[in-house]
């Protein structure tokens, strides 16, 4: 028999499916990470629902193009390219995109749907 606490507990582990598709140009040497997890060409990783998400790329030579970044099938890049630093999907140096808190409230706000709890 489950207690009230057991019934109301929400499992937040691995609820975000982060898909990154990159295209390499000029045989690049680079490091692309999502929350310090190494990503190459086409990768899917799973993250906890409430954690911040940090995308980071550093290119030593050549170039890396971000074709898409989706989180639970919701497109983040290149649609919200203007939120990255620098605002580009063609990376030749250092690039980053930070989602400072849980994904869904952030996504709700940037899509113009207002703030959610």
Domain positions in the chain are 11-110
- Stated length of the chain: 117
pLDDT at 99 over 60: yes
| pLDDT tier for residue 107 given thresholds of 50, 70 and 90 | very high
Task: Give the Cα separation of 22 and 104 in Å (integer).
Answer: 24
Query: Which CATH code, of 1.10.3470, 3.40.50, 1.10.10, 2.60.60, is assigned to 11-110?
Result: 2.60.60
Residues 6+ apart with CB under 8 A from 53: 16, 18, 34, 35, 47, 71, 98, 99, 103
| pLDDT tier for residue 10 given thresholds of 50, 70 and 90 | low
Counting beta carbons within 10 angstroms of the beta carbon of residue 16, is it exposed (0 to 12), middle (13 to 18) or buried (19 or more)?
buried
C-alpha 95: how far from chain center? 13
In this predicted model, what pLDDT tens digit does every residue of 42-71 receive, in sequence order?
999 999 989 999 999 999 999 999 999 999
User: Residue 13's pLDDT is what?
Assistant: 72
């Amino acid at each position: 028999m489950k207690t009230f606490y057991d019934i109301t507990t929400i499992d937040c582990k691995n609820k975000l499916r982060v898909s990154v598709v990159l295209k390499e140009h000029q045989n690049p040497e680079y490091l692309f990470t999502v929350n310090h997890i190494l990503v190459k060409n086409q990768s899917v990783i799973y993250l906890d629902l409430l954690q911040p998400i940090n995308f980071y790329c550093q290119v030593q030579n050549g170039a890396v193009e971000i074709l898409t970044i989706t989180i639970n099938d919701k497109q983040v890049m290149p649609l919200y390219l203007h939120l990255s630093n620098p605002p580009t999907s063609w990376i030749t140096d250092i690039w980053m995109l930070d989602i400072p808190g849980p994904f869904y409230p952030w996504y709700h706000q940037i899509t113009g749907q207002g703030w959610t709890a």
